[in-house]
Amino acid sequence: MSFARRLLLIALAQVFAPVIGFGFTVEAGGKTCFDETVKSSERVSGDWRVISGGVLDLDVEVTSPSGEHVYSAEREAAGSFAFFATDSGTYVVCFSNARATQAAREVSAKITVGEQGDGVELAKAEQLAPLEDRVKRLHTSMISVRDLQDQQREQDEERYRVTSQTRRWLLWFTVLEAAFVLVAVSLWQILYLKSFFEVKRVV
């Protein structure tokens, strides 16, 4: 690909990102690659079509930052791909015309980057296992807290019952004590007055 064409593609990417539509030529026996910087969980999709040249077929590969092939097609005239990025980094889309010896291929393509995916769908098995363990531990902790709260509530109810009963006993004791004192004072007054009048009558 010529330097001028690459500059044109970069300019188009900056103007129309995250949706990039463009056309380019893949020379016979050659390969043309484009890279996109993608964040984890972002959706990457693309459509491509060979519009002229030979038997209208290409090999297409999309490679992740770790080197894993997330999409591949062999001897196809058109195709599309879509996936959610599991890793942040540079994803490379390559169009190969290595099987051709003479005819170049004119290609029209569109690449879209964006749209957050569902983290649950993107999670790998080794990532889910620790998460499940944490959820189980959290569930166990919640049950323990609930049991502790129930026990605390029962203790509070028992203390309230004992306190209420003690207050009732204290109330009755106070009433009886006051009644006893009142009766005792009344008897003392009666006896005192009786003895006073008896002494006075004798005199």
Which tokens sit at 98? 């290595």
In this structure, the answer to whether residues 109 and 167 fall within a common structural domain is no
pTM over 0.75: no
Residue pair 41/59 in contact (Cβ under 8 Å)? The answer is no
In this structure, the answer to whether residues 142 and 116 fall within a common structural domain is no
Please count the structural domains in the chain: 2
In this structure, the answer to whether residues 36 and 117 fall within a common structural domain is yes
Domain end position, chosen among 106, 122, 138: 122
Helix spans in the chain (H)? 3-16, 119-122, 125-202
In this structure, the answer to whether residues 68 and 150 fall within a common structural domain is no
Domain end position, chosen among 122, 154, 180: 122
- Report which secondary-structure segment, H or E, holds 63: strand 58-63
Half-sphere exposure of 76 (CA within 13 A, CB side): 15
Cα 92 to chain centroid, rounded? 29
What residues make up the domain containing 108? 3-122
Digitized pLDDT (tens) for each residue of the chain, 203 residues in all: 443 444 344 444 444 445 556 889 999 899 999 999 999 888 899 999 998 887 778 999 999 999 999 999 998 989 999 999 988 999 999 999 988 888 889 999 998 887 644 444 444 555 566 777 788 788 888 888 888 888 888 888 888 888 888 888 888 988 888 888 888 888 888 887 777 776 555 55
- Which positions ≥6 away from 129 have C-beta within 8 Å? none
